[in-house]
Amino acid sequence: MASKTELWQSRASEKKKELLRPLLKERLQGSWLGLIIPMILLISWEIASVRGVFEAHLLPAPTVVLAKISEMAADGSLWSHIWITLYRVFIGFVIGTASAVVIGSFVGYWKLAENLLDSLVQAFRSIPSLAWVPLFILWMGIGEPSKIVLIAVGVFFPVYLNIVAGIQGVDRKLIEVGKIYQFSSLQIVRRIILPSALPSFITGIRSGLGVGWMFVVAAELMGASEGLGYLLVEGQNTYAPDVVIASILLFALLGKGSDSVLKLVETKALHYQDTLANQG
Amino acid sequence: MASKTELWQSRASEKKKELLRPLLKERLQGSWLGLIIPMILLISWEIASVRGVFEAHLLPAPTVVLAKISEMAADGSLWSHIWITLYRVFIGFVIGTASAVVIGSFVGYWKLAENLLDSLVQAFRSIPSLAWVPLFILWMGIGEPSKIVLIAVGVFFPVYLNIVAGIQGVDRKLIEVGKIYQFSSLQIVRRIILPSALPSFITGIRSGLGVGWMFVVAAELMGASEGLGYLLVEGQNTYAPDVVIASILLFALLGKGSDSVLKLVETKALHYQDTLANQG
Amino acid sequence: SDKASGGDEKPEKITLDYAYYSPTSLVLKKFGWAEKELKKDGVEVKWVQSLGSNKALEFLNSSSVDFGSTAGAAAFIAKSKGAPIESVYIYSQPEWTALVTKDKKIKSVKDLKGKKIAATIGTDPYIFLLRALKEEGLSSKDVKIVNLQHQDGANALLSGEVDAWAGLDPHMAKVELESDGKFLYRNPDFNTYGTLNVRSEFAKDHPEYVKKVIALYEKARQWTLEHPDEAAKLLSEEAGLSLEVAKKELERNNFEQPVPGDEQREAISSAGEVLKAEKVISPDTDIDKVVNELINPSFAEKAVK
Amino acid sequence: MLAVQQLKRVFKGGSAGFRNLHFTVQESEIIGILGTSGCGKSTLLRVLAGLDQNFTGKLKNKDKDGKQPGMMFQEPRLMPWLTVKENIGFGVKDGAGKEVEIQQFIDLVGLTGFENHYPKDLSGGMAQRTAIARALITDPSVLLLDEPFSALDAFTKMQLQDLLLSLWEKRKTTMVLVTHDIDEALYLCDRIFVLKGQPGEQYAELILDDIKKPRQRGSHELAERKSNILNLLDLSRQEAN
Amino acid sequence: MLAVQQLKRVFKGGSAGFRNLHFTVQESEIIGILGTSGCGKSTLLRVLAGLDQNFTGKLKNKDKDGKQPGMMFQEPRLMPWLTVKENIGFGVKDGAGKEVEIQQFIDLVGLTGFENHYPKDLSGGMAQRTAIARALITDPSVLLLDEPFSALDAFTKMQLQDLLLSLWEKRKTTMVLVTHDIDEALYLCDRIFVLKGQPGEQYAELILDDIKKPRQRGSHELAERKSNILNLLDLSRQEAN
Ligand SMILES: Nc1ncnc2c1ncn2[C@@H]1O[C@H](COP(=O)(O)OP(=O)(O)OP(=O)(O)O)[C@@H](O)[C@H]1O
Ligand SMILES: Nc1ncnc2c1ncn2[C@@H]1O[C@H](COP(=O)(O)OP(=O)(O)OP(=O)(O)O)[C@@H](O)[C@H]1O
Ligand SMILES: [Mg+2]
Ligand SMILES: [Mg+2]
């Protein structure tokens, strides 16, 4: 049993200073910590490769892959692959998100729109990206539009789903406040429902962006001659595992990078939430 | 301006009876309404096909596709395709969801786990399904495990993302109640955080199931000889648009069907929410 | 829109495809002869890459390209399902497919009975496998065909997941050079030629330009024949292959016979029989009719001197 | 202005809510509603505000311009993503003077210095004061108040009661005030309805318009009425049980 | 039992929270805390409960078994996915008699018949009563109550105050009670602290343990103390401004 003195908790005011900027410190520390596991994975992969556990023609060593990447960087092809894919993902993401917001708001708020549209969307949602490819080529040819629209399709569904769920989960109490002020439906959606659904929406766009990246490969099957998805498929077709792994790494890096941007937006936008993380 | 009598709103009690079971009525009506647009689409597609707007070798008429489906149903191959794919999706869904719940709970609740793991997961999240195929064959061969795990990977990410967001968005006020009762971290997670995050979690599994269906094609590129994804790829490789469209339709139907099950679960599980839809 | 334009006599634009499996298309693209030649008529040239026969056919079907390079059998299957295309030129007679194994105990096609074989359904290696089996009196029912993409099939073979693989170049050349895979069965005649296909509509509207394109291909073919080493280097650079692999691949291409004719008809018809037996094409297909409609030597006969 | 006949709204097969309400509120009257917890006071305000349409009976709640009543809910219901200032201005149409007016109300309810706080950083009483300011600033012709001062200390409460009265002097707003504080009802109201039971029914009506406002808190007159009301409430409870 | 020295917890650069608190609570004492809205009462309870660790100064809040105080928050904080019954039993360890005990408390706070309602279908007062039951049922040795009866009508309030006293008779729970109702503080507490200012500081202490419990509501003795407290509160406000 604890002695009497031990029951006292004491905190001197100097300690407080340490607590002043814990967020910044934590964040820096956090990003370092995040590198530990990837580093361990990379190093063991390298060691295993050097020891011959993985056959080089199946899974080349990280150093080989990095050499490939820097080779591509040197001859400039890397940048054009990255640039064009980033461009496609970005535009597709914007289009997909915008349409999901519009349609999702309708479906979330108006029962009739939900009854009319939701089933259809849910049905389309599980059609694989590869299935769309021939149809999109047929409808839109093999230019940029078909690629961008296909990525937009991938982005659309998670955003839609999260926005509808967010809207339908909005607290009735807050909506009633808007009704008291005789807000129009549009005002209620814009001023109460969308801000309320913001956390869910942000999760949706983060999820959607991920699916967008995934759809890049299918999109770039439609007559691309550049891009990360093209690089991947070409690597597979020319039996170049280093190119394949390089493109996978690039997908991972760009995906993580673009997601970090959204995560930053999330932290900024949701600072008002009364959660453990936001405690003052 | 309204006359004096018009200012009165009056509701007789008979009207109330009509309101007794609006939910059931609405739901029935809802499901009928959902068929309107698909029907319009199908009929205009049929008409366009008959009129020769779409060339049959590119986009066969719905009736042709239906004939193909019933042909496959008659010779039994349809059922084995559907069955094996359903089986893979189901098991993959369960595995993906379970691991997302475990890992997501850790990451959502313990800052350290978030720092260690989250970046890695976010990086993996944007790797396209097709990129995994060679790696999975390498690691797990071409049996059922690799297919199921690949589907689980697809399911994992949206569920993970939504569960982490759900947990991190949990109201601090409720967590404090648990702390007052000196709940252990595990109890807090199980009794407060997970139920609080339930709406977000359910959106996540619905989103995840959709991505799971999308991953079927990649999964069944790994040495399948049956399944809807196999059917799709076979149809594409043998230039059989009727098979392709049939498999797309089946994806849509099964996807919608499986989602409806989850939606039902959602409605049941979230009946306690104080939302417009749940008003008594 | 990217639809290649039709029009009356002169097309505004001609869209050609290039593919790593068609070395002459790479040569043609590399030297820009088409652009130079057609610019004289004020016709624009656009290049699109085909990653495989199926993509080339999708592009042809959606009028995204005017000329597409495919395997003969692939063009045949598509034609049998109604695709409006004609094979007007042979870019090579490749021996791009063969049966490969690592298992020393498998010495002939007969030994494959009951074994797991990787192949991509519907492609030339698949047809090759079926024909090889048929020759030995076997059918697809006697073995277990595992549907894998070409490169995955190679990996599966190397990691011992499957006993044999119906391979395709350049994967096959690479397996041959870089690992212990060996040929189990090869037969150039079971390959169905590399055919250059044109959209029927384009052929009808612009017959002159079909001839012009064939003439350009001829120029590329001549160059390839005259400069085998440079051609290998070009292929290795364009397709990101090592020089040895590229050389191996080129060695297995025969560029002697550019005009489609009876040999092709025969090869494709025999492939057709197998496909019919395996129900890849409908059992009531009139193979000869389809083949005759597909193979159209008239342009090449005039263009090739 | 505001009138109901045979008004009824029940939940769960008739075991909760209210029923049998008849009353008419004159222009610029202040009506108090007292009753035990759960007797349907908030439900009544929701019906009066037009938020709950599943009532039976007759209801008149629009003013001559067709406007619905304003309302302050029992919980603050602040938008968590808006600051105090933005919450108070939530229902105010944009226009010149909006900022000034908001600042006035912030000062009136004693939140000066907390303009830019988010709801999560407010104390219970501060959140309630923000909600009060949000309800008062839009100046509706009918105002429904659901326990507006329940989370405030005695002095802040009195101060805001006086604020309410002074605004009423200026604007002559019709008000319906649900409260548990009998002194508050006595200080502010012209008439007081007592509800009883579950579902609640009209039990008694107390008319106070003979006592001039501003009234004297703790005056003998009010003390008398207070014991009167306490009796009524007690009786209503006993009868209901 | 419960003691603080130099306790301070401020937000936003020192402009809100509380500071300079010194007091010791004896076992089974009932302490009242009064103060203007926003002076840091809830913050104090959060620190005492061990929920807020960012204080400075010294704090003793564990009982001899090392257990932290129980607490009832200013808002009901019910789990929306649990019924009234489940919410009340939320902190109760599973075991024989759990159900019976829950039902007892449901009856004690007057929620009989609403056992299976979800929070969204409760009135404000009913939600508060559920929270009271949830806090009382676990029988902690120290109980912190943050305006526990603020949403209740006069009679229900009295009834629950008596319930609290009767439980105290049985269990001799140490309690810290934040309230805005001076009568309530006078009826229940042994000592009353008055806080002043923003951030709040200890302003006065009132010792009432000379008046025996159960006390007579509205007795002369209490009325005297009440005016005393009102004076103190008024002074504290004036000094703070
Ligand atoms: N998380 C926070 N961040 C910043 N300031 C806060 C936070 N929590 C409380 N405050 C401020 O601390 C002060 C005291 O708040 P507290 O909730 O303790 O007041 P209170 O005495 O309980 O008031 P009330 O009687 O209105 O409930 C308030 O000015 C409030 O704005
Ligand atoms: N949505 C609902 N579904 C079912 N019952 C409800 C609903 N809303 C309120 N009730 C019930 O109606 C009754 C009246 O609730 P109301 O909120 O009007 O009470 P109140 O008089 O405001 O009480 P309090 O003083 O505690 O706030 C309560 O018994 C409550 O349980
Ligand atoms: Mg109420
Ligand atoms: Mg407080």
The interface pTM score, or ipTM, of the predicted complex is: 0.87
Contacts across the B-D interface (CB distance below 8 Å): 31
Q: How many other C-beta atoms lie within 10 A of the C-beta of residue A1? A: 6
What ranges make up the beta strands (E) of chain E? 2-11, 16-25, 30-34, 56-60, 70-72, 142-146, 174-178, 191-196, 201-207
- Which of E91, E112, E139 is where one domain is finished? E139
HSE at residue D149, side-chain half, CA atoms within 13 A, is 25
Domain with D148, as residue range(s), is 2-69+140-209
What is the mean predicted confidence (pLDDT) over A235-249? 85
Residue E229 belongs to some domain of the structure = no
Distance from the alpha carbon of residue D154 to the mean position of ligand 4, in angstroms: 14
pLDDT digits (tens, 9 = 90+) for C275-304: 888 878 888 888 888 888 888 888 888 777
C7 — pLDDT class (breaks 50, 70, 90): very low
**Tokens for C293?**
């409609």
Residue A195 belongs to some domain of the structure = yes
Q: Please check whether residues E155 and E205 belong to one and the same domain.
A: yes
D142: nearest CA in chain A?
A: A180
**CA-to-CA distance for D144 and D160, rounded, in angstroms?**
16
Residues with CB under 6 A from ligand 2: B 280; D 11-12, 16-17, 35, 37-43, 74, 198; E 117, 121-126, 151
What is the pLDDT at residue E223? 87
| Helix or strand holding residue B265 (H, E) | helix B241-269
Query: C114-149 burial, b for 16+ CB within 10 Å, e for fewer?
Result: ebbbbbbbbbbbbbbbbbbbbeeebebeebbbbbbb
Q: Do A237 and C51 touch (CB under 8 A)?
A: yes
The enclosing domain of D48 has a CATH number of 3.40.50.300
Number of domains in chain B: 1
What is the pLDDT at residue C5? 43
Q: Is omega for the bond preceding D214 within 30 degrees of 0, making it cis?
A: yes
> Of the candidates D46, D77, D81, which has its C-beta nearest A272's C-beta?
D81
What is the mean predicted confidence (pLDDT) over E94-112? 92
* Nearest CA owner, ligand 1 atom 27: D124
Is B267 within 8 Å of chain C by CB? Answer: no
User: B179 vs chain D: nearest CA distance in angstroms?
Assistant: 19
Q: Minimum mean pLDDT among A49-63, A79-93, B69-83: which range?
A: A49-63
Distance from the alpha carbon of residue E10 to the mean position of ligand 1, in angstroms: 9
Mean pLDDT of chain D: 90
What is the pLDDT at residue B2? 43
A27 — pLDDT class (breaks 50, 70, 90): low
Is D38 within 8 Å of chain B by CB? Answer: no
Domain with A117, as residue range(s), is 76-269
Q: Do A33 and B116 touch (CB under 8 A)?
A: yes
What are chain C's partners, defined as 3 or more CB pairs within 8 angstroms? A, B
Q: Please check whether residues D65 and D89 belong to one and the same domain.
A: no
Is E212 within 8 Å of chain A by CB? Answer: no
Ligand 1: does its nearest atom lie under 6 Å from the Cβ of E128?
A: no
pLDDT higher at B12 or A30:
B12
pTM, entire model: 0.89
D67: nearest CA in chain B?
A: B7
Q: Do D80 and A180 touch (CB under 8 A)?
A: no
Name residues whose C-beta falls within 8 Å of residue D208's C-beta, 6 or more positions apart in sequence.
D186, D189, D190, D191, D192, D225
- Judged against a pLDDT cut of 70, whether residue D44 lies above it is answered with yes
The enclosing domain of A229 has a CATH number of 1.10.3720.10
pLDDT higher at E178 or C304:
E178
First to last CA, chain C: 37
Most confident of B44-53, C204-213, D132-141, E210-219: D132-141
User: B54 vs chain C: nearest CA distance in angstroms?
Assistant: 11
- Judged against a pLDDT cut of 60, whether residue C274 lies above it is answered with yes
Distance from the alpha carbon of residue B148 to the mean position of ligand 1, in angstroms: 52
Q: Please check whether residues D55 and D17 belong to one and the same domain.
A: yes
Distance from the alpha carbon of residue E138 to the mean position of ligand 3, in angstroms: 27
Q: Please check whether residues D21 and D35 belong to one and the same domain.
A: yes
pLDDT digits (tens, 9 = 90+) for E33-83: 999 898 999 999 999 999 988 889 899 888 778 788 999 999 999 999 999
Q: Which of D14, D36, D32 is nearest to D237 (CA)?
A: D36
What is the pLDDT at residue C59? 86
Q: Cα separations (Å) of A99 from A159, A230, A255, B195?
A: 9, 27, 22, 31
Q: Which ligand is nearest to the CA of E40?
A: 1
Mean pLDDT of chain A: 85
Residue B56 belongs to some domain of the structure = no
Residue A225 belongs to some domain of the structure = yes
- Judged against a pLDDT cut of 70, whether residue C2 lies above it is answered with no
Distance from the alpha carbon of residue E71 to the mean position of ligand 3, in angstroms: 23
Residue B53 belongs to some domain of the structure = no
Ligand 1: does its nearest atom lie under 6 Å from the Cβ of D126?
A: yes
- Judged against a pLDDT cut of 50, whether residue D3 lies above it is answered with yes
Distance from the alpha carbon of residue D134 to the mean position of ligand 2, in angstroms: 24
What is the pLDDT at residue A14? 45
- Looking at ligand 2, which atom is closest to the CA of residue D43? 18
Q: Do A179 and D73 touch (CB under 8 A)?
A: no
Distance from the alpha carbon of residue B146 to the mean position of ligand 1, in angstroms: 55
Q: Please check whether residues E91 and E186 belong to one and the same domain.
A: no
Q: Which of E179, C164, C181, B16 is nearest to D153 (CA)?
A: E179
Contact D/B (≥3 CB pairs under 8 Å): yes
Q: Please check whether residues E192 and E108 belong to one and the same domain.
A: no
What amino acid is encoded at C64 in this protein?
A: S
What is the pLDDT at residue C49? 86
Residue D163 belongs to some domain of the structure = yes
Mutation target to probe the A interface, by most A beta carbons within 10 A, among B35, B82, B122, B222 is B122
B18 — pLDDT class (breaks 50, 70, 90): very low
Residue D235 belongs to some domain of the structure = no
Share of chain C above pLDDT 90, in %: 3
Most confident of B83-97, D82-96, D150-164, E212-226: B83-97
Residue E219 belongs to some domain of the structure = no
User: C61 vs chain A: nearest CA distance in angstroms?
Assistant: 8
Distance from the alpha carbon of residue D150 to the mean position of ligand 3, in angstroms: 11
Q: Which of D171, D74, D81, D86 is nearest to D132 (CA)?
A: D74
Which residues of E sit within 8 Å Cβ distance of D? 11-12, 15, 34-38, 41-43, 74-75, 110, 113-114, 121-126, 129, 146-147, 150-157, 180, 182, 230, 233-234, 237
Q: Please check whether residues E64 and E86 belong to one and the same domain.
A: no
What is the mean predicted confidence (pLDDT) over B93-106? 94
- Looking at ligand 2, which atom is closest to the CA of residue D10? 12
B150 and B132 Cβ atoms separated by less than 8 Å: yes
B20 — pLDDT class (breaks 50, 70, 90): very low
Q: Do B13 and D56 touch (CB under 8 A)?
A: yes
> Of the candidates C3, C158, C240, which has its C-beta nearest A58's C-beta?
C158
* Chain B contact set for E51 (CB, 8 A): 176, 179-180
Mean pLDDT of chain C: 84
Residue B138 belongs to some domain of the structure = yes
* Chain B contact set for C123 (CB, 8 A): 237
Query: C227-251 burial, b for 16+ CB within 10 Å, e for fewer?
Result: eeeebbebbbebbbbbeebbbbbbe
What is the pLDDT at residue B23? 53
Q: Please check whether residues E64 and E96 belong to one and the same domain.
A: no
> Of the candidates A7, A13, A16, which has its C-beta nearest E62's C-beta?
A7
B179 — pLDDT class (breaks 50, 70, 90): very high
pLDDT digits (tens, 9 = 90+) for C119-151: 888 788 888 888 888 888 888 888 888 888 888
pLDDT digits (tens, 9 = 90+) for E137-150: 988 999 999 999 99
Q: Which ligand is nearest to the CA of E35?
A: 1
Number of domains in chain D: 2
- Judged against a pLDDT cut of 80, whether residue A55 lies above it is answered with no
Q: Please check whether residues E94 and E200 belong to one and the same domain.
A: no
What amino acid is encoded at A103 in this protein?
A: I
SS (H, E, C) C54-86: HHHHHHHHCCCCCEEEEEHHHHHHHHHCCCCEE
Is A18 within 8 Å of chain E by CB? Answer: no
pLDDT digits (tens, 9 = 90+) for C156-174: 888 888 888 888 887 888 8
Residue B195 belongs to some domain of the structure = yes
Contact D/C (≥3 CB pairs under 8 Å): no
Q: Do C61 and B57 touch (CB under 8 A)?
A: yes
Q: Please check whether residues D57 and D112 belong to one and the same domain.
A: no
Q: Please check whether residues E61 and E98 belong to one and the same domain.
A: no
Q: Which of B203, B250, B211, B205 is nearest to B132 (CA)?
A: B211
What are chain A's partners, defined as 3 or more CB pairs within 8 angstroms? B, C, D, E
Q: Do B58 and C62 touch (CB under 8 A)?
A: yes
A272 — pLDDT class (breaks 50, 70, 90): confident
- Judged against a pLDDT cut of 50, whether residue E160 lies above it is answered with yes
For A29, counting Cβ atoms within 10 Å of its Cβ (0-12 exposed, 13-18 middle, 19+ buried), the class is: middle
Q: Please check whether residues E57 and E149 belong to one and the same domain.
A: yes
Is E70 within 8 Å of chain B by CB? Answer: yes
Q: How many other C-beta atoms lie within 10 A of the C-beta of residue C179? A: 16
* Chain D contact set for A196 (CB, 8 A): 81
Q: Return the best residue to mutate from E116, E126, E156, E159 for the ligand 2 pocket (most ligand atoms within 8 A of CB).
A: E126
**CA-to-CA distance for C83 and C77, rounded, in angstroms?**
9
